[in-house]
Amino acid sequence: MLPDQMVEMTWNSNNKKYFLDKGYSYTQMLDVFMVDVKDLRNSYKEEIFVVCDNCEQTYKKIYRNYKRLNDTHGKDYCPDCESLRYSLNISNKIKFKNKVEIYKDLLTNRIKLVPTGFWKSLTNSDITEIFHIFVDCLLKDNIIENINDIPRLDSTPLYKEYKLISLFKYYNTQDVLEIAYPNRWKSWEFNRVIEGFWNKENNLKDACDWLILKLFEDKIITSLDNILDLDGTIFNKYHLEGLLTAKFNCSPINFWQYFFPNKWYVWEFKSVHKGFWEDKENRINSIKELCTKLNIKIDELPLIINYPFIVNQYHRFSWVCDKYYKSDMFLWVDECFPNMFKPEDFNYIIGSNGVRLDSKEEKIIHEYFLCNFNVVKYYENNICEENKWFNEVENENYVADWLLNDKLIIEYFGWYHINSYNKDKRITEYIDKADRKITFFNSLSDYNFIALYPKDLRNNLKGVKDKLSKVLLELEV
């Protein structure tokens, strides 16, 4: 307080006796008179001039407030330095407490402020304990269901509510979570990544490797080829939609082809880019790519890639053929390889008894059966409902290719290329189902069964004849 200060007072019935006793001369009620500050009562509200003990600036203060605080703390603080006074006072009270206990007191409103430099001085151990207390509060208050909700929280309002906001003047959320829960979350699991994060190649690769690992762990895929059946929702599920937007134009296909170049063609994915099939060049390239994938020579193309084949094996191609080529495979192939084939090269394969067959190989087998058996029944898999057999173990319906003399089941597996197993998804699925059919048909007590393969057609059907002879001999015995 500045020395030798005088303040104005007014005579009234409450102070008359007090100031007369102090030696002041009374004039009359409501007259103004000057009083030395030292003679003021502690309860008086007159303003006095005080020097701040922190910044040494002179400021006005109500006398009773000055006396109350000065008598308690022995120091005076201007309004700008008042928070420091409070902090020093708190420091004096809590100097024997550790920092975690201080945070608990702050959280429960036992204290309103923490010492200056408190948040900046926290160790990693302090941060871990304090943040775990914060998470426990969130769980208890049903703000989160489990700890894995934390990275996606709108955290700033919660930091304010739970008295943690000042910590984040020195740390960002990801840094604090990495301290409190080391290696638990990846950067992309948060609401946003740091600027430029996706411009680093190692971050892209880490994200892809992590995503594939999660897909296997969560049993969403069992092999890499299952990726073909995924769509963009999987990136939302694993919080990688930001990566898809930032680097791959929101396209899952662009993402997978970036990390697995030349492994899959665009048309193999469950969902192609919008407008993909409207582009003539894409349709042309797709047929050429299918030939490459199946290792088909161009002159052999009509023997294999006909309309029944794409209906059975590559149904998406049949949709394209229906929409753009009036279901005529010749028109599509002719667009790819102009003037190399004739329309009749792609005619449906019709047996001598008028039955439509799936392939030229099946026609060769069918004609042999017609010449050597009295009753030959051929079942078009996608049309005939007669003689379906149900496999209860696998929960599958089967249709045999042929039934000879009502007793002998024949199935021709034209795509049973064991060397392509686990290399091509469709061939792998084809072989797996073929094996299940073979096991099932062999289990039928009322029928005999023969499985035929492309190699059985060589040397004038030698394999077909040998297998038939063996079964017929067994039937005679």
Q: Are residues 341 and 360 in the same domain?
A: no
**Largest pairwise CA distance in the chain:** 149
Q: Which residue has the tokens 């206990």?
A: 101
Residue 78: what pLDDT?
A: 80
| Rounded-to-integer distance, Cα 124 and Cα 139, Å | 22
pLDDT at 116: 77
Helices 252-259, 241-248: crossing angle, 10 deg rounding: 80
Q: Which of 53, 80, 107 is the last residue of a domain?
A: 80
CA–CA distance, 17 with 397 (Å, rounded to integer): 114
* Direct distance between the N- and C-terminal alpha carbons of the chain, in angstroms, rounded to an integer: 127
Angle at Cα 206 formed by Cα 244 and Cα 193, nearest 5°? 55
122 burial (CB, 10 Å; 0-12 / 13-18 / 19+) is buried
Q: In this predicted structure, what is the pLDDT of residue 214?
A: 93
| Three-state secondary structure of 229-241 | HCCCHHHHHCCCH
For residue 148, being part of any structural domain is answered with: yes
pLDDT in tens, the chain (477 residues): 677 889 999 999 989 999 899 999 999 999 999 999 888 888 888 888 888 877 778 888 888 888 877 655 667 778 777 665 555 555 555 454 688 888 888 888 888 878 778 888 889 999 999 999 999 998 998 888 888 888 877 778 888 888 888 888 888 888 888 899 998 888 888 877 888 889 999 999 999 999 999 999 999 999 999 999 998 899 999 989 989 999 999 999 999 999 999 899 999 998 888 899 999 999 999 999 999 988 888 888 887 887 877 877 788 898 899 899 988 889 999 999 999 998 878 776 777 887 778 778 888 999 999 999 988 888 754 444 455 788 999 998 888 889 998 889 999 998 888 777 877 777 888 899 999 999 999 999 989 999 999 999 999 999 999 999 988 876 553
The backbone region for 163, taken as left when phi is positive above 0, alpha when psi lies in -120 to 50, beta otherwise, is left
Residues, the chain: 477
Instruction: Dihedral sign for Cα 144, 148, 153, 156, please.
Output: positive
What pLDDT was estimated at residue 466?
93
Instruction: Please state the domain count of the chain.
Output: 5
pTM: 0.53
Whether residue 274 lies inside any domain: the answer is no
In terms of domains, do 432 and 365 share one? yes
Rounded Cα gap, residues 56 and 53, in angstroms: 6
> Is the same domain home to 441 and 466?
yes
Q: Which of 148, 147, 179, 143 is nearest to 159 (CA)?
A: 143
Q: Helix or strand or coil: residue 450?
A: strand
The alpha carbon dihedral of 188, 192, 194, 197 has a sign of positive
CA distances (Å), origin 123, targets 82, 126, 167: 28, 5, 12
How far apart CA 347 and CA 311 sit, in angstroms, is 15
Q: Please, which contacts does 323-327 make with residues 24 or more away whose CB atoms are closer than 8 Å?
A: 323/277, 324/277, 324/283
Q: Can you give the residue range of the structural domain that contains 468?
A: 356-476
Q: 25 and 127: one domain?
A: no
Question: Does one domain contain both 334 and 367?
Answer: no
In a domain, 251, yes or no: yes
The owner of tokens 């769980």 is 139
Indicate whether 387 and 467 sit together in one domain.
yes
> Do both 360 and 466 map to the same domain?
yes
**Residues 76, 21 within the same domain:** yes
Query: Do 205 and 178 lie in a common domain?
Result: no
In whole angstroms, what is the distance from residue 230 CA to residue 417 CA? Answer: 26
Cα 445 from Cα 453, distance rounded (Å): 23
413 and 434 belong to one structural domain: yes
Which pLDDT does position 464 carry in this prediction? Answer: 94
* Last residue in a domain, options 221, 247, 268: 268
* Pair 323, 423 in one domain: no
Note whether residue 1 is domain-resident: no
C-alpha 402 chain-centroid distance: 48
Alpha helices of 82-200 — where are they, by DSSP H? 82-94, 99-107, 124-140, 155-161, 173-180
Q: How far apart, in Å, are the Cα atoms of 102 and each of 90, 95, 126, 269?
A: 10, 10, 11, 57
Alpha carbons 417 and 181: distance in angstroms, whole number: 50
Distance CA 264, CA 293 (A): 9
Whether 302 is in a domain gets the answer yes
- Assess if residue 470 is contained within a domain: yes
Number of helices (H) and strands (E), helices first, in the chain? Answer: 19, 12
Point out the domain boundary residue: 211, 240, 268. 268
Query: Are 417 and 460 contained in the same domain?
Result: yes
